[in-house]
Structure 1
Amino acid sequence: MRRPRLPDPAALARFYQALLGGEINRPDRWTLDADWMTLHPPGGPVLAFQRAADHRPPRWPDPDHPQQLHLDLGVPDLDAAERDALAAGARLLDPGPPGRGWRVYADPAGHPFCLVRQASA
């Protein structure tokens, strides 16, 4: 019998910290342990990562293995952000055609997210 993959909340928190910055497990209203981690990005919402014993990684864009969340992260330089995301452990899922302003990636637990080029002000 194949053992299910359990996403590591600490690894996911560190992955998103590498992309967004912020503080992991800031003492506040959250109960924190090895199964529940938080990331407090600067000026943004708190992200929480919980271990799921029966975790089935999404297979984007397959609806039989649906997304459990999807973040669109605005970035000023898509190529630089891609290098950072890949170095942090992301996988490129859809580079899109040349010149498209967004690309799709998977985080280490398989959740898809997009890096989206921000419009110049």
Structure 2
Amino acid sequence: MPGKNTQTSALSGTIMCHAMWARDGRELADFYATALGTKVSQTYPDEHGNEAAFAFHANGAMYLFYSSASYTAPVWPEQELPFHMDFVFDDVEAAEKELLEMGATKPDHQPGGTYWTVLLDPSGQPFCIHGSH
């Protein structure tokens, strides 16, 4: 077959961690840990010994949140996002209510119609929530 690569690749990686930045990494880590039903379990210091990154494990993945004084939230939907997270909840209406109570906000722009809802986390980054139909 023309163009077929017959060499065996050594590449077969696994994602170890999902990392995000925010002005307050601890606040964001606590927000997402609560949304996923867990708690922050690890902290990592910066070069001066100050807590700078906060992690937890959920559903076989590690989530890591860094504090950055220079962080600015994306201007969404005007700016394209390099990535975002989607969450599924059994009761999406109840989950939306709790997430809003925890500090999320709901922007006017909702491109998902009845399929998904866009929320902004406490750092201003969009994420989507879906029901588990």
TM-score by length of structure 1 reads: 0.76
Say what the alpha-carbon RMSD is for the aligned residues.
2.2
Displaced runs of 4 or more, over 6 A: none
Larger Rg: 2
Change (3 A) 1:102 1:95: farther
Gaps of 5+ in 2: 1-21, 46-50
Gaps of 5+ in 1: 1-5
Residue 35, structure 1, aligned to residue 52, structure 2: yes
Structure that is richer in strand per residue: 2
Q: CA deviation at 1:101?
A: 2.5
Retained in 1: the 8 A contact 2:53–2:65? yes
What do the CA deviations read for 1:73-115 (whole angstroms, capped 9, x no partner)?
0111121010111011100124749x70210001111110000
For residue 77 of structure 2, what is the aligned residue in structure 1? Answer: 61
Change (3 A) 1:71 1:107: same
Change (3 A) 1:109 1:73: same
For residue 19 of structure 1, what is the aligned residue in structure 2? Answer: 35
SS at match of 1:92: coil
Task: Give 2:62's match in structure 1, choosing from 22, 38, 46.
Answer: 46
**Distance in 2 (alpha carbons) for counterparts of 1:95 and 1:115:** 14
**Distance in 1 (alpha carbons) for counterparts of 2:93 and 2:53:** 32
Q: CA deviation at 1:58?
A: 1.1
Change (3 A) 1:109 1:68: farther
Give the paired residue count: 106
TM-score by length of structure 2 reads: 0.70
**Distance in 2 (alpha carbons) for counterparts of 1:68 and 1:109:** 16
